[in-house]
């Protein structure tokens, strides 16, 4: 997950560094994802399962929940690095890190939800049919 951020950082114009993600408690995240409902799962990576969620103010979010077996020193180190890097990056083509949760066995990143659109659409403003 870290490699992709660095690559984009080097190649995308208009990238700026600003702001920080804030801590959010797990009960708020549970509520936003309907207790991490299977129905809310929108993706899965090597490190995490990603859920669609809605905060009380209506903001739609992508909740990236670190897998339990990845709660190792290495996993926590990678997680902390992602918080550190993503909380300072701002670009129209990067999902914004809004919040994070780091409570005992629950390590979560809360991103701006990138709705069902292709990367080409985000970057070039057009659909790619190739």
Ligand X SMILES: Nc1ncnc2c1ncn2[C@@H]1O[C@H](COP(=O)(O)OP(=O)(O)OP(=O)(O)O)[C@@H](O)[C@H]1O
The binding site for ATP consists of 64
Whether 105 contacts 99, CB under 8 Å: no
- Binding residue for ligand X, selected from 62, 63, 86, 101, defined by CB under 6 A: 62
> Segment near ligand X (CB under 6 A), from 5-13, 20-28, 43-51, 86-94?
43-51
111 binds ligand X per the rule CB under 6 A: yes
- Measured from the CB atom, is 47 or 107 closer to ligand X? 47
**One-letter-per-residue 3-state SS of 82-105:** HHHHHCCEECCCCCCEEEEEEECC
The CB-based long-range contact list for 99-104 (8 Å cut-off, 24+ gap) reads: 99/21, 99/22, 99/23, 99/24, 100/21, 100/22, 100/23, 100/24, 101/23, 101/24, 101/25, 101/26, 101/29, 102/23, 103/25, 103/26
- Binding residue for ligand X, selected from 9, 55, 95, 102, defined by CB under 6 A: 95
99 binds ligand X per the rule CB under 6 A: no
> Segment near ligand X (CB under 6 A), from 7-15, 31-39, 97-105, 108-116?
108-116
87 binds ligand X per the rule CB under 6 A: no
Position of minimal CB gap to ligand X: 45
């Amino acid at each position: 997950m870290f490699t992709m951020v660095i690559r984009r950082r080097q190649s995308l114009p208009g990238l700026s560094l600003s702001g920080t993600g804030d801590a959010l408690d797990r009960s708020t995240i549970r509520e936003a994802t309907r207790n991490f409902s299977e129905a809310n799962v929108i993706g899965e990576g090597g490190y995490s399962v990603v859920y669609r969620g809605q905060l009380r103010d209506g903001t739609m979010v992508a909740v990236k929940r670190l897998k339990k077996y990845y709660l190792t020193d290495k996993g926590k180190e990678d997680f902390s690095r992602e918080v550190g890097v993503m909380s300072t990056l701002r670009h129209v083509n990067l999902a914004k890190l809004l919040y994070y949760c780091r409570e005992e066995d629950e390590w979560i990143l809360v991103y701006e939800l990138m709705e069902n659109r292709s990367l080409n659409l985000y970057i070039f403003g057009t659909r790619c049919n190739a």
